[in-house]
Each structure stands twice: as structure tokens, then as C-alpha cells.
Amino acid sequence: MRFSVLTSAVVAALVGFGGTIAIVVAASQAAGANPEQISSGVVGLCLSMAATSAFLGWRHKLPIITAWSTPGAALVAGSQGLSIEVAVGAFLMVAALILVTAAVKPLGALVQRLPVAVAAAMLAGVLFRFCTAVFTSAQVDPMLVLPLVVLFLVARRINPFGGVLAVLGVGIAFAFFLGEVAPLPEHMPLPTLTLIWPAFDLQALIGIGLPLYLVTMASQNLPGFAVLQAAGYTPPTRSILAVTGLASLITAPFGSLTTNLAAITASICTGPDAHPDPAKRWMASPCYGLFYILLAIAGAALVALIAALPAALIATFAGLALLGPLVNALGTAMGDPARRFPAVLTLAVTASGVSMAGIGSAFWGLAAGLIALGIDHAGRR
């Protein structure tokens, strides 16, 4: 055990939590959740991160790091007409699909055959609206937003992970300085779990649940497996999917998003900076889990603070945090010239926000891209 193991785990947890917690809160608010339900969802997620990372790391002696689905949170936050009960129903569907993927090999193989360019374009379309919201917010509150954009551009040159955290810390302080923070509760709420009875709506299951499952698999789990492989490990794919799927199934009724394998933040704990001996880096997983227990204890208070912040700051923070994933998604979507047109079509439909038959744009963007790709292939034959 080295001190570097602990510091790597703490940094990974801080980056994962601090970098995207505002997006998770925005997703819950878009689903109509009240403050108690939002807090419950965050606490459930933190407990899920703690349990799954600690168990998987100890069980397989590998530095396995789990996270919530940030693109999935963006997908839910960009949806309209949801209720928290319907959202919970969609979360349960996603958890069930992940469990089925772990149990049925052909389904996992089918997901891996999903055209990467089209899946990445769908993700880019979801993220695009959040990133442009930064600059629409700058029109509303330029004194708050524009300095934070400049700070982000400078800070990311020093440390790619630190840019988002710098915007979070300075942005909160700046909002207090400008007097734009709503009154905080006299007594900070304690962490609680609130049971939410699910509602299963076919339109939401197709328009939210299915894209959420595909985004979670394509942009979180599959890259997470690749991170472990790049570090020289053989990821226990079915075990990871089974554990994260079960954890998602348990926490979904408390308003929590899907649990999945971490990708970017996992690289903090899988390299030699965590421990020079690859066989001992697994100890970062239980340390990471321990820190998430502390975040669970503070989760309700953090949600109350975020709820009091101005809307322009939340939009700025979320948009800047998603710029990196947007760049990666666009690079992947446009990387294959043969699939560039279907990818652009998918991006355009998804980013438009169109809703038909009560089903959101993410599904229609994916469908349009796959149809265009199928026609292209048929034409070549």
C-alpha cells in the first residue's frame, strides 16, 4: 500500500463527482424530481459507486473503477415531458438490459457490432445542446459566465482534469460574490433514500431507456474495458456488467441513474502513477469506494448548494464539463469517411431535439443514421 494509491483514488473520485454532479442534478430536475428525490438519487449513486468499485476491485484484484453515466445524465436532462416515476421505469429497463447483456453473449456481441460512428454521433448530438447552452447563458449573465470560460481555457492547459474543478470552485465563489446565490437552508439536509414507485411508459422506454442503454454501453462500458486492456489487464466483462447491472437495478427505485464502468477517470487509477506494481493497483478500488461513502454522507448538502446556484452557472458548468466528451464523440463519429454521412445525419437529427410520437430525438437520430447506413451498404452491393 502506497500513499499514491490513496491520492489516485481521491483524485479520481473528485474528478468523477465534482466534474459531473451538476449534470446529474439537472437530469433529475428535468424529470420533475423534488429536492428530496434529487438528494436520494445522488446518495444512491454514491453508495453504488462505493459498493461496486470496492467489490469488483477486491474480487478480481484489478483497479476497477465505476461511475455514473454522464452521457446518460445529459440524455435525461435534455428530455422533455418526463416525470421522475417514468424516469425510474426507464432506469430499471436499462439495468435489466445490462443484466441480460451479461447473461446472454449474443446480445453483448450485437451491442459491440453497433456502428461506432453512428453511436458516437448520437452521443455528440445529445451533448451538443449542453455545450451551446454555455454561450446562450453568456448572453443572459456575461459577468458570471465569460470569466469562467476564460478560466476553463487556461486551467485545462495546465491540467485537463483540473479545468472543470477550477470552474466549479471559482464559479461558486464568484456567484456568492455577485450575490446571485439563493438563500441556503438554515439546516443542511441529512442524506436519505426516498423510494420512488416506477411508471413504465412505452414512449419513454423507447425514447429514453433504449438510447440510455446504448449510450451507457457504447460510451462508458466499452471504453472502460479498453482502458483496462490498455493498462495490461484482462477485464472480467461479464462480472462487471452483472455487478453494475444489479447495482443499477437496486438503486434505480431511489431515483439513481445507471451505474457503469468508468473510462476517463479510471485511467487515473490504472497507470504507474497509482502504483509501480500493476498487481497492487487494485487497492485503489476500495479506497475510491471509501471516498464515495464520504461523498454519500455529504450528498444532500451538496445537492442543496447546487440547487441554490444561478441557472447560468449550472448551464456553464455542465456545458464546459461536456466539451471534452463532445470532442471525443465528434472525432469518433467523423473518423470513418465511409460512415461520415450517416453520422452527420444522426448528429443533426439528435441535436435538433425533435420529438415524434412522444419519442425523443436520440432514438430518431439513431434510427436515421442506421437507415442511411443500411441504404449506403445496399447501394454498394
Q: Hey, where are the domains in the chain?
A: 3-380
Q: What residues contact residue 113 under an 8 Å CB cut-off, 6+ apart?
A: none
Residues in the chain, overall count: 381
pLDDT in tens, 299-352: 788 888 877 888 888 888 878 877 877 887 888 888 888 888 988 998 999 888
- Residue-by-residue DSSP string for 305-358: HHHHS-HHHHHHHHHHHTHHHHHHHHHHHTS-GGGHHHHHHHHHHHHHT--BTT
The stretches in the chain having pLDDT less than 70 are 1, 112, 160-162, 264, 357-358, 379-381
- Residue corresponding to grid cell 502506497: 2
The pLDDT value recorded for residue 119 is 80
Q: Which three cell numbers stand for residue 195?
A: 423510494
The pLDDT value recorded for residue 48 is 95
3-state secondary structure of 123: helix
8 phi, psi to nearest 5 deg? -60, -45
CA 155 vs. chain centroid, Å, equals 22
pLDDT in tens, 197-219: 999 988 889 888 988 998 888 77
Q: What residues contact residue 61 under an 8 Å CB cut-off, 6+ apart?
A: 279, 282
Q: How far apart are CA 321 and CA 186, in angstroms?
A: 30
Q: How far apart are CA 26 and CA 20, in angstroms?
A: 10
The pLDDT value recorded for residue 357 is 65
Q: Say what the pTM is.
A: 0.80
Strands 259-261 and 66-68: antiparallel
- Residue-by-residue DSSP string for 192-223: ----------HHHIIIIIHHHHHHHIIIIIHH
